[in-house]
C-alpha cells in the first residue's frame, strides 16, 4: 500500500472498528457483557468503567451478574446502570447486582434492526468522507511534480479500500440484523 494512501486507510479502519464496538453493545435478547462497556461508575470521584470495579459474569443466557470488589459500590453501580441507555433495571441482594434481560418483542427487534441499519449508513458516510479527503489531497498533489498516472493509481487504490470497507460494513450490519431477528 502506498504511504500516501495509508492515513485514509487508517481513518476508514477506525470508523469500521467504531461500528463493530457500537453494534457489540446492542443486545439481542441474550445477555452480552459488552452492553456495559460504555458505562462509567463514580469510583471515589473518578468515572471508572464497570469492568474495573467488579467481576462481570453471565450465569445464564438472559442474565448478567456484577460482583463489585467493594460492597460500598453497589449503589453507585446501580445508579450508573439506571442512568445509562441499557434499559434494564438492576436488582441486588447486597452482594451482587443482577441484570435480567427480557425477551425482545417483534416490534422492538424491528426498531433495533432500523437502528443498526442507520448506524451502518452513518459509518459508510464516514468512510466516504475519508475517501473524499484522500481524493482532495491527491488532486493537490497533481499540481506539484506527481504524474497524472500516479494520481490515478492512488485514486484507484483509495477507491478499492472504500469498496472493501463499505462491503465489510454491509456484511456486519446484515449479520447483526439477522442475530437480532432470530428468536
Q: Per-residue pLDDT averaged across 48-61, rounded?
A: 89
User: Residue 163: what pLDDT?
Assistant: 95
Q: Per-residue pLDDT averaged across 149-166, rounded?
A: 92
With a cut of 70, say whether residue 67 has pLDDT above it: yes
Q: Per-residue pLDDT averaged across 136-144, rounded?
A: 84
Lowest mean pLDDT among 45-54, 109-118, 127-136, 140-149: 140-149
User: Residue 125: what pLDDT?
Assistant: 95
Lowest mean pLDDT among 1-10, 79-88, 133-142: 79-88
Q: What confidence tier does 26 reach under pLDDT thresholds 50, 70, 90?
A: confident
Domain residues of the chain, as ranges? 6-24+105-181, 33-100
Query: Is the model more confident about 25 or about 155?
Result: 155
CATH, domain range 33-100: 3.30.1360.40
What is the overall mean pLDDT for the chain?
Answer: 88
CATH, domain range 6-24+105-181: 1.10.132.20
- Percent of the chain's residues with pLDDT above 90: 38
Q: What confidence tier does 122 reach under pLDDT thresholds 50, 70, 90?
A: very high
**CA separation (Å) from 171 to 81, 127, 176?**
31, 15, 9
> How many CB atoms within 10 Å of residue 50?
24
Q: 135 Cβ partners below 8 Å, 6+ apart?
A: 155, 158
Judge whether 6-24+105-181 and 33-100 match in fold: no
User: Residue 144: what pLDDT?
Assistant: 79
With a cut of 70, say whether residue 29 has pLDDT above it: no
Q: Are 36 and 52 in contact (CB under 8 A)?
A: no
Q: CA 66, CA 97: separation in Å to the nearest integer? A: 5
- Percent of the chain's residues with pLDDT above 70: 97
User: Residue 28: what pLDDT?
Assistant: 67
Amino acid at each position: 500500500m502506498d504511504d500516501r494512501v495509508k492515513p485514509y486507510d487508517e481513518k476508514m479502519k477506525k470508523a469500521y472498528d467504531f461500528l463493530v464496538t457500537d453494534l457489540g453493545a446492542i443486545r439481542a435478547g441474550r445477555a452480552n457483557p459488552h452492553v456495559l462497556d460504555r458505562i462509567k461508575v463514580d469510583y471515589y470521584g473518578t468515572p471508572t468503567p464497570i469492568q474495573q470495579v467488579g467481576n462481570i459474569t453471565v450465569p445464564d443466557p438472559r442474565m448478567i451478574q456484577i460482583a463489585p470488589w467493594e460492597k460500598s459500590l453497589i449503589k453507585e453501580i446501580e445508579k450508573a446502570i439506571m442512568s445509562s441507555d441499557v434499559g434494564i433495571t438492576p436488582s441486588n441482594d447486597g452482594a451482587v447486582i443482577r441484570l435480567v434481560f427480557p425477551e425482545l418483542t417483534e416490534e422492538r427487534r424491528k426498531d433495533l434492526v432500523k437502528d443498526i441499519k442507520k448506524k451502518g449508513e452513518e459509518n459508510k458516510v464516514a468512510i466516504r468522507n475519508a475517501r473524499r479527503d484522500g481524493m482532495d489531497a491527491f488532486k493537490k498533489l497533481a499540481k506539484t511534480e506527481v504524474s497524472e498516472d500516479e494520481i490515478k493509481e492512488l485514486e484507484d487504490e483509495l477507491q478499492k479500500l472504500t469498496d472493501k470497507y463499505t462491503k465489510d460494513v454491509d456484511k456486519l450490519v446484515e449479520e447483526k440484523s439477522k442475530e437480532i431477528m432470530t428468536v
